[in-house]
Amino acid sequence: MGVSTALIGLLPGYQSIGIWAPVLLVTLRLIQGIAVGGEWGGAVLLAVEYTEKEKRGFAGSIPMMGAAVGMILATATISLVSLLPDAAFLSWGWRIPFVGSLVLVLIGLWIRNGLEETPDFQKAKDEGRVSKLPIADTLKHHWKEVLLITGAKAIETAPFYIFATFGVSYATNTLKMPESPVLNAVTIGTLVSLFMIPLFGKISDRFGRKSIFIGGTLGVIIFSIPYFLLLSKKSILLLTVAVMIGYALWSIITSVMGTLFSEMFKAEIRYTGISVGYQLGAALFGGTAPLIATWLIAKFNGSWLPAAIYLMLLGVLSLICVVLLKTMSEREKSESTKNMEPYIADKIVKN
């Protein structure tokens, strides 16, 4: 992931290599996307599996802060290089953040090199339960869980792109609002999420991952129409309020997502299971969300209502998927109850 990011900063322009410039750019972005699938899954499992069960909600929420931290770092970095003269920025200034990201890669490698396998995976390894081809076993035996994760991911990834990417474009291009205050609103919303994510991760240790996820999803469904309504007022204050509420609701969902998904699989295929489902959901419902929202608004003569309804429908899809999800603890309880049924029946007969 780090190498592909840095190479974007070193990529020759269209004037130098012609059509190969956009082809290579898209290729490097695809490599980033594939790599982040493994990186996200590894980060979540390291946090969750190294932690006591009673505190895993909070631990699993920490890696989920990565998107918010990345947004803030990206905004701050671009703000700094934007101080350069336009000619310098367009020539070489925009490349600095991409190449500079190698510093983060080195920090990440330093952290990872000091870690051993997690206790859960090491136990599976010692017992000889490690799959030789995890992707095959996952898709063969756990394809239902992967599909449910993909659907559940919809209401986490789509709002993020709507609030962060589409919201900026819609406010500046369609509503003709000034760009700088709009970007500031997104930054404020991101800061809100930095506090909300660990807070609700902690709360989930008490009230459960599913209940927090469902609450956040219902919040997004209810807020979809008010969000666009507030934006349509063309007020920076109301836009900032809308973005803050939107990011707060998104934070509730994302705070428990990593832990919830990790609790669905056994240790030997957990890494592959959560990564495949998570990234499929991101690809299907995340990157496409701004495009679909833009198309819907254009299709219906500038009305934002279809885009809001689209977001609400994704919420309904995710609710259905999450309700159908069964975590390992729920399965163990179900199996324990079934095993106890003959004993209970025998006791009743004897009594």
- Tell how far CA 328 is from the center of its chain: 22
Cα–Cα dist 345/351, whole Å:
10
| pLDDT tens digit sequence for 3-44 | 999 999 999 988 889 999 999 999 998 888 888 877 888 888
**Res. 140 pLDDT band, cuts 50 70 90:** confident
pLDDT of 336 higher than 50: no
CATH class of residue range 2-341? mainly alpha
Q: Measured over all CA atoms, what is the biggest interatomic distance in the chain, rounded to whole angstroms?
A: 89
Distance CA 247, CA 251 (A): 6
8 A C-beta contact, residue 44 and residue 254: no
- The tokens describing 66, both together, are 């990565």
Q: What is the pTM of this model?
A: 0.83
Q: What is the DSSP string of 36-102?
A: HHHHHHHHHHHHHHTS-GGGHHHHHHTGGGHHHHHHHHHHHHHHHHTTS-HHHIIIIITHHHHHHTH
pLDDT in tens, 158-201: 998 898 888 888 888 888 888 888 888 888 999 999 999 999 99
pLDDT in tens, 202-215: 999 999 999 999 99
Compute the average pLDDT of residues 291-301. 91
Q: Containing H/E element for 115?
A: none
**304 — phi, psi (to 5°)?**
-85, -10
Helices (H) and strands (E) in the chain, counts: 19, 0
The full set of domain ranges for the chain reads 2-341
